[in-house]
Every structure is written in C-alpha cells, then in structure tokens.
Amino acid sequence: MKTIEPGLAAHLKGDATTLCHCWRVTRRDGIVLGFTEHDHDLSFDGTDYRAASGFAASETEAASGLQAEASEVAGGFSSDAISEADIAAGRYDGARVEVFLVNWQEPSQRLLEKVQEIGEVTRQEGEFRAELRSFAHHLSQDQGRVYNRRCDASLGDGRCRVDLEAGGWIGRGTVEAVLDATRIRVAGLDGFAAGFFRFGRLTFIGGGNDGITADVGDHVPEDGGVTLTFWLPLAGLPEPGDALSVTAGCDKSFETCRKKFGNGLNFQGFPHMPGADFAYSYADGDTVHDGRVLFP
C-alpha cells in the first residue's frame, strides 16, 4: 500500500490540480537522467527533470498480483536528452525507471508510483518508443542451467575459470580502418593465428563507442592488418585510432575447451549426453549400445 504525502493528499482533494509525471532513468553504467512531461524543468532529490525531452506516457492499467504490467513512453531525440546513437548502442537496455506523480507548483509534493525497467525500444522518424516493464516480468524468464551438450558459462567467468589476462587470451589494438558496418581492420593483433578471435567479444575503449561491445563472427589476418567481422552491424561506427580489446573466441564445445584452452575439467556442458538421433535410434547389428561414452 502506498502512503501519500499529506501535502499531496490535500492537493488531490482540491478543486483543481497541477500534476505531471516525471521519470528518473538510471542506466546500467550509473548515469542518471530525469525527464518530465511538464512544459518547464523540475528538480528534486538531486535530479533535474528536463521538459525539452518531449517525453509522454501512454495509458496503463494497474493490476494486483504478480501479473507483469507494461506501459510505454515516447519522445523525440535531442542532443541534450536522449540521442539516437545511445539507444542504438544499447545504453538504455534494462535501465531502471522510477515514475513519479508530481505537483509541478510544489515538487516536494510527489508520489513514487512505480519502479520499472526499459524493455523493447523502437526508433522511427526521429522519435523513440520505450516499453516499460514491471520487475515481475523476470518471473517468466528461464532460471537455472541449461542441460545441453555445449557449455553455458561465459569465457573467463567464475564457472569457466579461464584466466583471460594471465593466459594471453586478450588482444589489444586500434582501429586502422572501417570497411563497413560489419567489418573493421585492426592494427596490433598480428601475433594471433587466423580464427583465434572468432566467436570472441570486442570492446571499444575510448572514442564515441567507449564501452560498446560486439560479438566477433570472423578473424582473418591480411596484409597490413587483421580484419574482424561482426555478427551484427555496429550501431555507431568507430573512428580510426580508437583503442579496443578483444577476447579469444570460444564456440562452447568440449573439444575447443579441452584443446584450445586446456580447461576440459571445468567444462560446464554435458558432452556425453545422447543427441536426438541416438535417442530415436534402435538396436541393430551395426550400432554399438554398450553404455560407452559417445564423445571422445
């Protein structure tokens, strides 16, 4: 049950109200931004809420229980509020959003209505629409491990235990040229064999793409440098000279874990699990069914 501040409660009982909504957005990188649908900037709790953002809320319905509520906010891109490049780069994915009902004549009279997080964001013709999801939507997501032949750990995490730094599994270089949105030429990675960074992860350091990551689809040494290809186009193209780091690639197979990383004892998959073809097969004179492992 929400407790309404006495001043706001008295205001709500009046004949006329001066109310608006404010949104405090906390991105995963710690940056806090404030927006309001009012026509003047507001400020409270150390956050400035900008009116120039063009934020507007859609209709929403409240429900009891654990139903995952969803609403939507829309706004226009601007240089001092939300930029198209930031949204395309995923800087608002999963951001925490606090929604306030505020008396704009007296901002101390306010009510925290709900806390949500940003879900799907769409962009079209200079504006964006962001889905706001209640935290209850996490209850519908799969939890726990996946029973699979391939590893479900991330290379270098606490379950994998591969020491990326000490093992020389990280390469560092600079952007030499941008070939297109999915390919860049990199200097500084000449000492690595072809395909070493295939299925790896690249992180830009500094520049306009600072902190942005991309999955590497291929790694091809060429005369004068190394070409890295990404699975998906980059939202914002880097500049020549931008620094980067890239981790070795892992295809999550037991063979790669054992031979490339020497980490077979920590493999977090189930390589001996029979596949669908074996499960639906039947005993005959040509197939071995003596219980031996199916994977070397």
Domain boundaries of the chain, sorted by first residue: 6-140, 170-247
Q: What are the residue ranges of helices labelled H in the chain? A: 6-12, 84-88, 254-259, 276-279
Counts for the chain of helices (H) and strands (E), in that order = 4, 15
Rounded to an integer, the average pLDDT of 17-33 is 89
At 289, list the tokens.
Answer: 């069914």
At 160, list the tokens.
Answer: 């994998």
Percent of the chain with pLDDT over 90: 47
Q: How many angstroms from the chain centroid is the CA of residue 229?
A: 20
Please report the pLDDT score of residue 241 as a whole number.
94
Q: What is the pLDDT of residues 105-160, one digit of tens each?
A: 999 999 998 888 888 777 776 677 778 887 776 677 777 777 888 999 999 999 99
How far apart are the C-alpha atoms of 233 and 218, rounded to whole Å? 13
Quick check: pTM over 0.75? no
Q: What is the pLDDT of residues 162-209, one digit of tens each?
A: 999 988 999 999 999 999 999 999 999 988 999 999 999 999 998 888
Please report the pLDDT score of residue 64 as a whole number.
46
Contact 41, 33 (CB under 8 A): no
Question: Would you say residue 292 has pLDDT above 70?
Answer: no
6-140 belongs to CATH 2.30.110 = yes
Question: Would you say residue 215 has pLDDT above 70?
Answer: yes
Question: Would you say residue 294 has pLDDT above 60?
Answer: no
Rounded to an integer, the average pLDDT of 228-257 is 93
At 86, list the tokens.
Answer: 């930031």
Please report the pLDDT score of residue 281 as a whole number.
65
DSSP code per residue over 72-134 = EEEEE--TTS--HHHHHTTTTTT-EEEEEEEETTSTTSEEEEEEEEEEEEEEETTEEEEEEEE
**In this predicted model, which residue has the larger pLDDT, 29 or 238?**
238
Say if residue 259 is exposed, middle or buried (CB neighbours under 10 Å; 0-12, 13-18, 19+): exposed
Torsion of CA 189, 193, 198, 201, to 10 degrees: -30
Q: What is the pLDDT of residues 244-268, one digit of tens each?
A: 999 999 999 999 999 999 999 999 9
Contact 166, 159 (CB under 8 A): no
Identify the band that residue 223 occupies on the pLDDT scale cut at 50, 70 and 90: confident
Mean pLDDT value across the chain: 83
Identify the band that residue 74 occupies on the pLDDT scale cut at 50, 70 and 90: low
Please report the pLDDT score of residue 81 as a whole number.
65
Provide the 8-state DSSP code for 44: E
At 142, list the tokens.
Answer: 């799969």
Q: Which amino acid is at 54?
A: G
Question: Would you say residue 44 has pLDDT above 60?
Answer: yes
Question: Would you say residue 17 has pLDDT above 80?
Answer: yes
Question: Would you say residue 216 has pLDDT above 60?
Answer: yes
Bridge-partner residues for 230, per DSSP? 216
91: Cβ contacts below 8 Å, ≥ 6 apart: 27, 28, 29
**In this predicted model, which residue has the larger pLDDT, 294 or 250?**
250
CA-only gyration radius of the chain, Å: 26
Identify the band that residue 55 occupies on the pLDDT scale cut at 50, 70 and 90: low
58: Cβ contacts below 8 Å, ≥ 6 apart: 71, 72, 73, 74
Contact 140, 70 (CB under 8 A): no
How far apart are the C-alpha atoms of 128 and 118, rounded to whole Å? 12
Say if residue 69 is exposed, middle or buried (CB neighbours under 10 Å; 0-12, 13-18, 19+): middle
Backbone angles phi, psi at 259, to 5 degrees: -85, -40
**What is the CATH number assigned to the segment(s) 170-247?**
2.40.10
How far apart are the C-alpha atoms of 215 and 198, rounded to whole Å? 9
Identify the band that residue 10 occupies on the pLDDT scale cut at 50, 70 and 90: very high
- The SS3 of residue 259 is helix
Please report the pLDDT score of residue 86 as a whole number.
76
Of 253, 262, 258, nearest in space to 153 by CA: 253
